[in-house]
Structure formats: structure tokens, C-alpha cells
Amino acid sequence: MIRVLLHRWPGLAGLLLVTLLAVSGAALSVFPAIERLASPQAAGGLSVGDLAARVQAEYPGVEQIRGAPSGRITAWWFQDGTPGAAVIDPATGQGVAPVDASPAERWLVNLHRQLFAGDTGRLVMATGAGVMLLLCASGVALMARRMGGWRRWFGRTRGGLEARLHVELARIAVVGLALSALTALWMTASTFGLLPDQARAPLFPATTSGQTGIAPNHIAALADLPVAALRDLSFPDPTDPTDAFTLKTDRGAGYLDQGTGEVLAWTDAPALSRVTDTFTMLHTGRGAAVLGLVLGLMALAVPALAVSGFALWLAGWRARPRIRGNASASRAETVILVGSEAGSTWGFAATLHRALSEAGQSVHVAPMTAFDPARYRAAKRLLILAATYGDGMAPASAKGFIDRLEHAPALSGVPVAVLGFGDHSFPAFCAFADEVTQLLTAKGWTELLPPDAVDRQSPQDFARWGRALGRTLGLELELVHQPAQPATEALTLVSRRDYGAQVQAPTAILRFALPRAGFWQRLTRRGFARFQAGDLLAVLPEGTPGVAPMPRLYSLASGSRDGFVEIVVRKQPGGLCSGQLVALEPGDSIRAFIRPNPGFHAGHGRAPLILIGAGTGIGPLAGMIRANRRARPVHLFFGLRARDSDFLFAEELAGWQREGRLARLTTATSRGPRPYYVQDALRHEAPEVLAMIRSGARIMVCGGRAMAEGVTAALTDVLAPAGLTPAVLKAEGRYVEDVF
């Protein structure tokens, strides 16, 4: 809600206006600093009386002296029938510079303040300031949520270029932007007379002493007044004894007798006028030139925030599921709810929507987060397509669904079918869908179809479920969904290193040239422009012509910064893709794309890493060590068969140890008189492992399922003395696995 209503739409609507305000404000911010530098400053003890006397000695026809918050003193006089004016050096009373109203500054002020359109323009610009303040407030709330709390305000940022740029700039600039916007609104209110802050001169006194000619430095009220407090001193007409000095200070305004110097009338400025003065100073930098420059610099972040924010919105808009002819929630007979993490489930939902709509149904598709049973007035059935995130968590588009479901009464006459999406090789396969199913049953919802699942986006599974749904509804329902795949790139092999032939595990480290990323990819850091060890390389095997091949995923052992694409492949008996890969020679090429795998990144920070891998599982871990340029403490447990045969990355690991990228290496060899596995090594080094975990270490495991289970069992024992379990560490995100 915050994101869309209070940040995205105001941001898009006010994009140009807020940018214009910020850029013009940033340009204006330099003027107070220039003025400050160009203005001779008054000595601390100088009084207005002495200043006025000095000026009067130099310019006997002086009519007005003004003091600006920048310290600039300006005097105007009328002498020998000609008006004159100058910036005054308070030390001498002499003019030192012309009073030039810079046309550029005036033009900018008029643009910034009122768009050259008077009061209408002022209101438009004030609206812009209001939008800015709203964006700051909603942005702060979003930022706290994104960073995981206020205390992590300056934590590491994640995500694509636009998101990081937006966050990194905003979290610093927000202070200045909010201050500028708030003070702008206050100043607008003051200008329109909405605040009781106006320092008005009192009524002119009816009687004066009738004398004239007192020297300003003999007027007590001026002799006590420091120059910094002076706003304006107007001299009386010496030929008119009823006239008087008019004095305006930061405290108020009044009249002084030109014969006796007596205060004839005085009004203190209202308390709010001090607030307005302070806000004006903060906003304009007049009287606070350095702050003005800082605020100006912060305002310069706005164009970048606008561009990156717009790009973020555009990316989301492009990625949004395109459901043509989506019926409204209140009219649809069939409501489809989608729980999707990366968006692939939306594709299935779109296919289902199209097929049902073509069969004459009115169908509403929505994310599970939008679950709102009270609106489903015409609904006859509810279909839930739910993926699972990580270890059984709700996917992105289903956050909060469980809570909503728990607090809503079951709709009678609206049976539900749940279809889970997942990967059978994971123990938490469709765990979220199962949780939804159980809660639906517990809440008394009726079942339309028994729970079913689609394994690894299988079109066959989906079509089978569609036929079952069709039978229940009395429709011919043929769901044909081929998941769309990202565009692939051709990767050319540059080198290969072979291992493991002697131990019947032929394995190769394949290094491909990094394909040239297009301009847009580089700008948005997508595809091959930005990936890191732990992300996945999806390789399309050469297959039968006419049949779309399913990509095979390999963990990347390099990042884009390394300048090459590296994977470790073991030839699987009868494996189509691994066989093709292991047969590659330098110069051969394959087709592949990057699939981000943010759950298995080493992450930033200084906490130690415990990397545990066996066989080809060393790949991503080696890539992480190679990328560890900041010498974060890393302890690698590597399980292999025989040191002289499949010790992958042996040379590099030795080098990385010398360079400090790898603090400690423990190998476990399974072939030999005494088989020794990584789980054995973990138990053997339990005190060291536990000490690292106590100091905040993160555990990353990569390898086969049996090995991962063995590691979990070993760690259960290792952690027990500390009262910890692998499950606790997993929940904290400190224990992650990439299992194949």
C-alpha cells in the first residue's frame, strides 16, 4: 500500500515538477555562498549606530541601510539629485561593490518559487514540495522495511542497479529533501498570510519631539544593537520634523525620534516570525551558506532518484503479468489466486485464465496478497496456484495470505482447488501449498479438487491437472503452457581442465568467454552483465529439432567481475546435457542464460563464512573465495574422492590461501584405506566450527543431497553444546544450501 499509493503514484505524477524544483533549488544554493564570500563581514562588536554613522559620513544623503542574513550590508542614498547604492564594508562605511541583482539568480528564483506564474505558480510549486515531503515520508517507511529495521539504515543494499542507486542516494538525501520540502511549505503558508508570523511595523506615532539632527551613533537603541540583528534602517526626511527613523530588526520593528533618538513606537515580532526566519534561512541558505550548499547537493540526488524510480516502476510494469480481459473480483465466477516468487507461476495462471475464459467463464486473476473473500460475490470456485519460496515460505506475491485466510470466514458454496508449484528434489516441495491446503481444510472451506502439484514447471503436470479441473467443471479444458525462457546467449569455451578420470568421476572445470552485454543489460545489470558465484547458468542442451529443450542448471563458479563464465560439470551416466558439456573443446559454444539465485550468494559483511562442498559442489564456493578480495575469514570444507585425481581448483585454492582470500582449507577424501567425509571433518573440527558460528559465521553448503543431509546431521551434533540447531540458523538465513 505504502509503495503504490504513497510512493509510486505520487512519484510518477510529480516526477518532472519535483525534479524541476530540486534542480533549480540546487542551482540557487550556490548564490548565498557567493554572496557570503563577496560581502565584507561586520566585526563582532560593531553596533548599528556606529555602522549608520560611518555610512552617513561617507554618504550624507543616505536613506536606507539593509542587513542581510548573509552579513551583507547594503546602503541606498540620494545625493545631488541622483540615487546611489552600494554594498558597504562595515569597517569603513564605504561602498565596495555595486548592488547587482543578478538576473540569473532572479530568473532562477522566479522559476523555483512560482514557475513565472505568480500565485498560481506558487501553489503548483508548493504542491511539488508537498509531493516531495510525502515521497520522503513514504520512502523512509519503505527503506526501513527494505533494510530490515531502522538500525540497518546504512546497511548494505541489494538488488539491481536502479534499486541500489535509488536506495543509496535516498537514504542520505532524504534528510535534506524533507527539510527543504517542509520549510518550503512553511514559507508558502507564510507568503499567503496563513501563519500569524508577520512582523508588522507599529502605527506611526502621532507626535514627535519636533527636533532633528541626532547622529545615529547617539541613538541608544542603535548603539546597543549588533549589526547582525539589523534588517532595515530607513532614515527620516531631515526637513520634516514629524518624520522618524524606521528600524526593523530580527526582533521587531518600530520608529525612533530623529531629534532625541527615543523609541517612539515598537512592536515585537510574533514568536512564529522567528520560526519563519529560521526556516527561511534553512531553506535558502541565506545566513547558513554551507548548509545551503549541502542541501543543494542533496537536491541534486533528485534527478537520479527520479530516473531510477521511474526505471524501477517501468521494470515492474513490464514484468507484470499480462492478463487480457481480467474480470473484476466481484463479478468473476472463477477466482484464480497466484503465489509466485519470480513470476513463472503467473505464466501458468495466464494460460489457465485464457482457457477458462475461452470456455465461457468469467475469470479474475489476482496475486494471493490481494485475497479478499468479501469481494468474491459471484464466485463459484477458487483456484490457488502457489509456488513455494525457499524452505516452505510464502512466495513474494503471497505475503500475508495465511494471515488473511486465518481471519476470514470460509465462503460457502465456493470450493477451492490448490495447485502447488515446486521442485521435487527439495524436501520442502510445495510446502507452502500444503500449508494453504491444511488451513483451508481447518477453516472449513470445501475442496474442489484434491491437492496437486506441478514439478519443475512441467507442462505435462499442468495439463493433467487442467483435465481434472475440466472434468469437475464439465468443460473440455486443455491447458497448453510452455514456460517462456529468457533469451539465451552463445558462450564459447576458452579452456577446460579435467579431473577425476581415475576415480570414475570424469569432471571438468569449463571456462567460457564472457559474452558482451548489451547497453541496456549493462545499464540494468541484468543477464551476463551482472552475476556472481552461486547464481545459476541455465544451459540449453542440443535436442531434437522442434522440441523446446528444458534448461539444465549449473552453479556458477565465477562472477561477472572475473571476466569469464565458469562451471564445474561432472559427466552423469546417460546425462544429455552433462555429456554434451564434457565433450566440448575450446572454441565450441553452447546456448545459455543466467538465472539469478540470490538465496545462495555469499553476501556482504565481515562475518566469517563456513563453506562446505563435495565434488562439483566446490564450484560456487570456489567462486566465492575468488571474489573474497576483502579477506573475510573463510573456512572451506571440501569433500573429494582422491587428492591426486579430483582435487578441483587445487592450484587456485593454494594461491587464495596465500592471498588471504581463504583462511583455512580442510579436505576430506573418501577413497583410501580410511574413508573420510566432510561431515566427519566437521565433527573432527567441531570446536573451531562452533567458535566461528558463535562469532556470527554463515554456513553455505553445496553438493549432493546425501552429503547435505550428512552435513546437517553433523552440524546438529556440533551445534548442540551451544543450544543451537541447523533449523535455527536456517531461519536466520545463516545456513543456506544449494543441493542437486
Partner 1 sequence: MKSAIAAFALTSALVAPGLAAARPVTFTTTLNNYGGDGAYLALYLTDASGAYAGTLWMAGGKSKYYDSLAGWYRATGGDPAQIDGITGASVGAGRTLEITLDLADALFDAGYVLRVDAAVEDMRDSPDDVAVPLTTQGAGKTTQGRRYVASLKYDM
Applying CB under 8 A, the residues found at the interface with partner 1 are 63-64, 66, 74, 76, 78, 83, 85, 99, 101, 103, 106, 110, 118-119, 190-193, 198, 200-201, 203-204, 234, 246, 253
Query: What minimum distance in Å lies between the beta carbon of 64 and partner 1?
Result: 5
Nearer to partner 1 among residue 99 and residue 607 (C-beta):
99
Which CA distances in Å does 319 have to 264, 388, 529? 73, 20, 19
**Of 413, 315, 326, 332, nearest to 376 (Cα)?**
332
| Grid coordinates of 72 | 551583507
Nearer to partner 1 among residue 78 and residue 310 (C-beta):
78
Query: What minimum distance in Å lies between the beta carbon of 49 and partner 1?
Result: 21
Q: Enumerate the H helices of 513-575 as residue ranges.
A: 519-524
For cell 575468488, name the residue.
Answer: 626
**Of 219, 136, 244, 140, nearest to 180 (Cα)?**
136
Q: Which residues contact 144 (CB under 8 A, 6 or more apart)?
A: 150, 153
Query: What minimum distance in Å lies between the beta carbon of 47 and partner 1?
Result: 22
Nearer to partner 1 among residue 281 and residue 355 (C-beta):
281
Query: What minimum distance in Å lies between the beta carbon of 282 and partner 1?
Result: 19
SS3 letters across 212-276: CCCCHHHCHHHHCCEHHHEEEEECCCCCCCCCEEEEEECCEEEEEECCCCCEEEEEECCHHHHHH
Query: What minimum distance in Å lies between the beta carbon of 219 and partner 1?
Result: 19
- Going edge to edge, which strands form the sheet with 552-555? 552-555, 536-540, 589-595, 489-499, 507-513, 564-570
Nearer to partner 1 among residue 63 and residue 341 (C-beta):
63
Query: What minimum distance in Å lies between the beta carbon of 204 and partner 1?
Result: 4
Query: What minimum distance in Å lies between the beta carbon of 696 and partner 1?
Result: 59
In contact, 16 and 125? CB cutoff 8 Å: no
Nearer to partner 1 among residue 109 and residue 370 (C-beta):
109
Nearer to partner 1 among residue 180 and residue 284 (C-beta):
284
d(CA 439, CA 433): 10
Query: What minimum distance in Å lies between the beta carbon of 101 and partner 1?
Result: 5
Partner residues linked to 570 by β-bridges: 507
Partner residues linked to 385 by β-bridges: 338, 419
Angle at 315 between CA 312 and CA 320, to 5 degrees: 125
Nearer to partner 1 among residue 192 and residue 520 (C-beta):
192
Query: What minimum distance in Å lies between the beta carbon of 76 and partner 1?
Result: 4
d(CA 275, CA 234): 25
Report the first-to-last Cα separation within the chain, whole angstroms. Answer: 38
Nearer to partner 1 among residue 159 and residue 241 (C-beta):
241
Nearer to partner 1 among residue 94 and residue 191 (C-beta):
191
